[in-house]
Amino acid sequence: MKKEIEQIKKKNGFIIDMDGVIYHGNKLLPGAKDFVRWLKEANKKFVFLTNSSERTPKELREKLNRLGIDVEINVFFTSALATAMFLASQKPKGSAYIIGEAGLINALYNVGYTMNNVDPDYVVMGESRTYSYEKIEHAVNLVLKGAKLIGTNPDVSGPIENGIAPATKALIAPVELATGQNAYFVGKPNPLMMRKGLKKLNCTREETIIIGDRMDTDIVAGIEAEIDTCLVLSGITSRDTMKAFAYQPRYVLNGVGDLV
């Protein structure tokens, strides 16, 4: 264990998932504050990579701030930002009909996209609290008229304090079923998300590690991108559920607190 911790601490680049690693809902996880302090003091490069598309980097920074962690705004990389970069490279200055929150809407505006509910290039969906029958009906008909269907992340659900909340893949399912079209998902484990994270870090694969709590997004994304993986048991995965997967993480920790 001690040797493994030293190996992890020797890495230069850290790609860190947030929910289940740093916090759970609005509760900071043990050692998270010390871990981030260590990252800064040791001059490590790090990025918080989250599949949630709801919040803007500014909102994420404020959330961490409320929990007592102070970081720069540019350390956040969300599936909403990845989706915006992906769309900007596929069709620069395109248009979209969006079902999502500020994180997604701002990200698309920032890459020069316009909002269009008549004949958009894309229907883009992310986590949303303003989901309605009318919006789904509208999205279905735009897709049938030729708009491409994009989901920010393939999570079916996410943890909240009193249970789970349906996430993007569950929210987009009615549009897929009614149109017969499958959505394209950008967030983890899509390698795009890892490559963009690495680029942001400006580190090589070899000097980087991904730390996350989900086997089917964080760990598989790391393995398929050939980045060392570290599973933390502070989120949704236990040692027993981990063992059921065909692939295994390189390192397993109780939480990021083990590193400090």
Q: Which residues have a catalytic role annotated?
A: 17, 19
| Min dist. Cβ of residue 250 to Mg ion (A) | 18
**Judged by CB, which is closer to Mg ion: 203, or 221?**
221
| Min dist. Cβ of residue 115 to Mg ion (A) | 30
3-state secondary structure the chain: CHHHHHHHHHCCEEEECCECCCEECCEECCCHHHHHHHHHHCCCEEEEEECCCCCCHHHHHHHHHHCCCCCCHHHEEEHHHHHHHHHHHHCCCCEEEEECCHHHHHHHHHCCCEECCCCCCEEEECCCCCCCHHHHHHHHHHHHCCCEEEECCCCCEEEECCEEEECHHHHHHHHHHHHCCCCEECCCCCHHHHHHHHHHHCCCCCCEEEEECCHHHHHHHHHHCCCEEEEECCCCCCHHHHHCCCCCCCEEECCHHHHC
**Judged by CB, which is closer to Mg ion: 17, or 54?**
17
Per-residue binder mask for Mg ion (CB under 5 A), 180-219, x = binder: ---------------------------------x------
**Judged by CB, which is closer to Mg ion: 121, or 218?**
218
| Min dist. Cβ of residue 241 to Mg ion (A) | 14
Closest chain position to Mg ion (CB): 20
**Judged by CB, which is closer to Mg ion: 142, or 225?**
225
**Is position 17 an interface residue for Mg ion (rule: CB under 5 A)?**
yes
**Judged by CB, which is closer to Mg ion: 67, or 136?**
67
Figure out which of the listed residues 8, 15, 20, 237 binds Mg ion, where binding follows CB under 5 A. Answer: 20
| Min dist. Cβ of residue 121 to Mg ion (A) | 31
51 close to 79: Cβ distance less than 8 angstroms: yes
**Is position 155 an interface residue for Mg ion (rule: CB under 5 A)?**
no
How far is residue 85's CA from residue 156's CA, in Å, rounded to a whole number?
A: 23
75 close to 92: Cβ distance less than 8 angstroms: no
**Is position 101 an interface residue for Mg ion (rule: CB under 5 A)?**
no
Figure out which of the listed residues 8, 11, 16, 19 binds Mg ion, where binding follows CB under 5 A. Answer: 19
Residue ranges that bind Mg ion, judged by CB under 5 A: 17, 19-20, 213
